[in-house]
Structure 1
Amino acid sequence: MISSLADIEPSSRGSLISIGEDSVVDSFVKFKPAGGLGAVRIGSRCVINSGCVIYTGNGISIGDDVAIAANCTLAPVNHAFEDADELIRKQGFLPSRGGIRIGNDVWIGANCVLLDGAVLEDGVVVAAGSVVRSRLHAYGVYAGTPLRLIRQRVPRSRSTDGPAAGPQQPRL
């Protein structure tokens, strides 16, 4: 379901925005084609909460069963700014670092920023207010700025102790 209050700007360059079956795009989510020709592909059963801004840039791929909390920004694009004699807005954009790739069963907390080159493997959790610009390994729980791994989730199917292993304590 896409809220009637979501804002999906049309692309003058033909960037594709596709939203999978049973996914929810809440009120005041903004999709903005800018900074590249990348497509945005959102899998099935995803939830994107209000206040999120999603730029198409160099492309975004979101797997299935992903939850993105309120007020997150996904920006798969970087401005050029090296020439101090030229206005930044006239310098264009840097080459792609691969866009943004989000696996399945990922939870992104409120107010996170994901930048070009961010890769979130399956099962990742990102704590509120974090900035992500690199690869986050499967089932890791990440927090902070700078971002760091605070614990590892262990799926029962991969646990050596079986279902009775219980949750791991965070490493501080």
Structure 2
Amino acid sequence: MTVSSEASSTFLSRLGEDVFQAFHHTVFTSILGSAFVPRVARRALLLAGGAHAESGVGLGFSLSGSPRNLNIASGVYINGGVSIEAIAPVTIGTDTAIGMQVLIITSHHEIDESGAWTAEATGRPVTIGKRVWIGGRATILPGAVIEDDVVVAAGAVVAGRLESHGVYGGVPAKRIRELTPRTGV
């Protein structure tokens, strides 16, 4: 292959990626998050894209990655401006509420001992349990697990595992208060 044909192949490959990304952004951000699209239609659009969505999403919703990696249970409330990057699976349990402008990230870049990072992202799944409340502008980092019956304070940055029956806040999020376990749930 000549230099010219290699450059042409690279150009066409990148052009194809850009066209796909533009289509994906238009469908799963511009249309899906539009105020002109009712919540039930947003849910239908997610389902058509391959997501498992028993609940709809709010205005200004943004999805990058694969809709097939998104699992939203019943009774979930997703407020406005929420962004989910579903490079790896994102699971949201029943009766969970996600506040405005929450960011859920699944892509991760490995960093070696010298501080060099890999350009290629790998996915780490995010799991959000049942009856979780996540305050506005919280950030959920790749690989995070939020167990059932947890409150995440507004603006918190969640990494690792948040254990059940607690309130977490700060950067990084730490347990700041105990919650009494519910009975009969």
| Contact 2:80–2:100, Cα closer than 8 Å, also in 1 | yes
Task: Mark the CA change 1:38 to 1:17 in structure 2 (over 3 Å): closer, same or farther.
Answer: closer
* 1:18 and 2:48 matched: no
1:92 maps to amino acid: E
The two structures, once aligned, show a CA RMSD in angstroms of 3.2
Query: Who is 2:168 aligned against?
Result: 142
Between 1 and 2, higher relative CO (CA 8 Å, sep ≥ 6) is seen in 1
CA contact 1:38–1:57 (8 Å) conserved in 2:
no
User: Aligned with 2:183: secondary structure?
Assistant: helix
The percentage of counterpart residues that share the same residue type is 33
Match in the other structure for 1:92: 120
2:150 is the alignment partner of 1:124: yes
Per the TM alignment, residue 30 of structure 1 is displaced from its structure 2 partner at its CA by 0.7
In the aligned structure 1, how far is the partner of 2:147 from the partner of 2:133? 11
1:167 maps to what in 2? Answer: none
Structure that is richer in helix per residue: 2
Q: Tell me the number of residue pairs that the alignment of Structure 1 and Structure 2 aligns.
A: 144
Secondary structure in structure 2 of the residue aligned to 1:25: coil
Q: Which residue does the alignment assign to 1:39?
A: 69
How far off its partner does 1:38 sit?
6.3
1:154 is aligned to 180
d(CA) in 2 for partners of 1:19, 1:56: 14
Matched, 1:52 2:86: no
Runs of 4+ in 1 over 2 A off after TM superposition: 2-8, 79-82, 155-158
Larger-Rg structure:
2
Once the 2 structures are TM-superposed, how far is the Cα of residue 79 of structure 1 from its aligned partner? 3.0
Report if the CA contact (8 A) 1:38-1:58 is conserved: no
- Please state how far the C-alpha of 1:16 moved relative to its aligned partner: 3.4
Give the TM-score normalised by structure 1.
0.72
In 2, are the aligned partners of 1:24 and 1:45 still within 8 Å (CA)?
A: no
TM-score (norm 2): 0.67
> Structure 1: how far apart are the matches of 2:172 and 2:33?
34
Q: Deviations over 1:115-172 (max 9, x none)?
A: 11100110000000001111000111000112111111112539xxxxxxxxxxxxxx
Distance 1:33 1:156, change over 3 A: closer
